[in-house]
Amino acid sequence: MAEERQARSTKSDPCSGAPAAAEPTPSSSEAAGVAAKSPEPEDYHSKCVFCRIARQQEAGTELLHCENEDLVCFKDIKPAAPHHYLVVPKKHIGNCRDLKKDQIELVENMVAVGKTILERNNFTDFKNVRMGFHVPPFCSISHLHLHVMAPVDQLGFVSKLVYRVNSYWFITADYLIEKLRT
């Protein structure tokens, strides 16, 4: 198990944000050969942790019931609040900057799923909820995910900074929807 973690930590994960181990720079002829052998997008997504979770290939992650077949929801592994969930599209989308106007409905559906998950967990004070996205380069995972956190008044000092409303690094879902509309 430790060897597997060690092996995984030395490989580049397109969604982890972690750099790959240093390798020698190939010559131009070697680079052309490497480009010809580049992994297909499907292979790329097979390495993305959120794509793997969406396909239920990560045994340690429990998916919460989600009535939207295009989305999955699960608890954040480093919760900033008593209720901290991530709503993730099954289809790989890099981040909130990759979204287009025709994807407003996707963001609205993500918000609806977040509210439903909170209600199922007996949290209904929606004035004390924060839902939003980290903005690149401040994304820890390069796969679009909505943070759903409640109660916001219980965020710690560092979490208040990390999830600061409409900062350079974190925007609310409402702000994103408004930006996509314009």
Residue positions annotated with a catalytic role: 145
For the stretch 98-103, contacts whose Cβ atoms lie closer than 8 Å and that sit 24 or more positions apart, written own/partner, are 98/144, 99/144, 99/176, 99/180, 100/180, 101/180, 101/181, 103/180
Q: How far is CA 54 from CA 105, 120, 144, in A?
A: 19, 20, 12
d(CA 147, CA 163): 9
Residue 15 contacts residue 141 (beta carbons within 8 Å): yes
Sheet containing 170-172: give its strands across. Answer: 63-64, 71-75, 83-89, 146-150, 130-134, 170-172
Q: How far is CA 129 from CA 40, 64, 119, 162, in A?
A: 39, 19, 12, 15
